[in-house]
Amino acid sequence: MNIALAAGLLAAGVLAGCKSDNNPTTNVDPSADVTLAAPPAGQGIQVVLGPFTVPAGTEVQRNFYQKLPTTEDIYVNKIEFKFNPGSHHFNVFKSDSVNLKDTIIDSFSALQWENWDMVGASQRSDYVWQLPPGVAIKLSAGEQMDFQTHYVNAGTQSTPSGRGKAIVNFWTIDKSQVTNTVGAIFSNNKTLDIQPHTSATYCKVVKTVDHDVMLLLMTGHFHSRGKTFTVGHWDGKKLKDTIYNSANWSDPPIVQYATPLLLRANDSIAYITTFENNTDTEIKFGPHVEVEEHANLFTFYYPGPAGSKAIYDFTGGFLMESHPI
């Protein structure tokens, strides 16, 4: 559905931090919700999303569409994420072309990616992403943002308080200190089709970058059928090395390279994911943790495109091997 149409049909202009009519807050003691000190004046901004209910037996993906609360461009050198337990992910996007009233929409529909750029992402409920000196993410004055949080309170994960809440701090540096801006590559392997009682291994070769870059951060993302997630340089047939590895679907590693990792222009990296489907049901790619699977890779690097634009890589991918279990 078109985002602007959805906004008009599904929600009135409610501010992030206020309750939404289609999912009011619970009567649970708010002391159960996370808190986070905001940056001091002149050093950054804080955005608070929620609280909102996550009823037992459900998944809720909530998009908080709102303008960045700034009157001038900012350059972000550190991001702090903090959110209530139970969140499956918290993604932050910006747009230079979308213009919405402050609106909250519950939806699992994909964004119109050509209109949005990824700013940051975390599956970890308490995480700090510190960028190197001089490296920053540019956010324009009053920019349109989407703060997207996905909570699960069902079989594979739980939300103990029954409430979702997320906080993000953007710590800034002066423009005069910025030497490089950040780019993002968000990759999906949408070819997943895991047959019942089968182990299946898939490969996805990531879209290349046309200039030398330094990799800053990498994290993989799959659901509970996922067993291993490995990233490395690709020689056309296999991985030549390992630059990222995960065997923990609910709390995957977020690797910040202590020394940014050089990726040469047009060098290929790929990720290989193995899944085990012990059910009687075919499992395909999709956002719902309970019944679908993901094979997503988040990569951040510098120097990035002008305006911290994102690269989306949603095609390709193939089955390497499968066998009954």
Verify that 228 and 256 share a domain, yes or no.
Answer: yes
The domain spanning residue 117 has which CATH number?
2.60.120.310
Averaged pLDDT, 98-112: 95
Verify that 203 and 162 share a domain, yes or no.
Answer: no
The structural domain count of the chain equals: 2
Verify that 279 and 147 share a domain, yes or no.
Answer: no
At position 265, the amino acid (one-letter code) is A
> Whole domain around residue 82: which residue ranges?
3-180
H-run or E-run covering 38: none
Q: Which pLDDT does position 69 carry in this prediction? A: 94
pLDDT higher at 174 or 4:
174
Query: Where a domain ends, among 151, 180, 209?
Result: 180
pLDDT higher at 16 or 104:
104
Inform me whether the pLDDT recorded for 5 exceeds 70. Answer: no
Verify that 274 and 226 share a domain, yes or no.
Answer: yes
Q: Please tell me the distance from the alpha carbon of residue 134 to that of residue 209, in angstroms, as a whole number.
A: 21
Q: What Cα–Cα distance (Å) separates residue 151 from each residue in 9, 54, 84, 90?
A: 23, 7, 9, 9
Per-residue pLDDT tens digits for 121-174: 999 999 999 999 999 999 999 999 999 999 999 999 999 999 999 999 999 999
Count how many Cα atoms sit within 13 Å of the Cα of residue 144 in the half-sphere of its side chain. Answer: 16
Q: Which pLDDT does position 27 carry in this prediction? A: 55
Inform me whether the pLDDT recorded for 2 exceeds 90. Answer: no
Query: Where a domain ends, among 123, 155, 180?
Result: 180
Q: Please tell me the distance from the alpha carbon of residue 187 to that of residue 203, in angstroms, as a whole number.
A: 12
Q: By three-state DSSP, how is residue 4 classified?
A: helix
Nearest residue to 60 via CA among 105, 28, 13: 105
Inform me whether the pLDDT recorded for 226 exceeds 60. Answer: yes
Q: Which pLDDT does position 309 carry in this prediction? A: 84
Do the Cβ atoms of 134 and 178 come closer than 8 Å? yes
Q: Which pLDDT does position 28 carry in this prediction? A: 56
Query: What is residue 208's DSSP assignment?
Result: P
Verify that 192 and 122 share a domain, yes or no.
Answer: no
Inform me whether the pLDDT recorded for 17 exceeds 90. Answer: no
Per-residue pLDDT tens digits for 281-314: 999 999 999 999 999 999 999 999 876 789 999 9
Verify that 188 and 162 share a domain, yes or no.
Answer: no
Task: For the sheet with 144-153, list strands across it.
Answer: 103-106, 58-67, 144-153, 87-95, 117-122
At position 88, the amino acid (one-letter code) is H
Q: Which pLDDT does position 31 carry in this prediction? A: 72
Per-residue pLDDT tens digits for 24-70: 444 556 678 999 999 999 999 999 999 999 999 999 999 999 999 99
Q: Which pLDDT does position 12 carry in this prediction? A: 31
Do the Cβ atoms of 147 and 9 come closer than 8 Å? no
Query: Where a domain ends, among 180, 195, 214?
Result: 180
Verify that 13 and 103 share a domain, yes or no.
Answer: yes
Verify that 261 and 139 share a domain, yes or no.
Answer: no
Verify that 36 and 112 share a domain, yes or no.
Answer: yes
Residue 265 — very low, low, confident or very high, per pLDDT cuts 50/70/90? very high
The domain spanning residue 317 has which CATH number?
2.60.120.230
Residue 216: phi and psi, rounded to 5, are -100, -45
Averaged pLDDT, 12-33: 49
Inform me whether the pLDDT recorded for 18 exceeds 60. Answer: no
Nearest residue to 262 via CA among 207, 210, 214, 307: 214
Q: Please tell me the distance from the alpha carbon of residue 235 to that of residue 202, in angstroms, as a whole number.
A: 16
Averaged pLDDT, 230-236: 97
Verify that 170 and 264 share a domain, yes or no.
Answer: no
Q: Please tell me the distance from the alpha carbon of residue 179 to that of residue 132, in angstroms, as a whole number.
A: 10
Buried (b) or exposed (e) across 282-319, using 16+ Cβ within 10 A? ebebebbbeeebbbbbbbbbbbbeeebebbbbeebbee
Verify that 256 and 270 share a domain, yes or no.
Answer: yes
Q: Please tell me the distance from the alpha carbon of residue 67 to that of residue 69, in angstroms, as a whole number.
A: 6
Nearest residue to 262 via CA among 236, 241, 237, 246: 241
Q: Mean of the per-residue pLDDT values for the chain?
A: 91
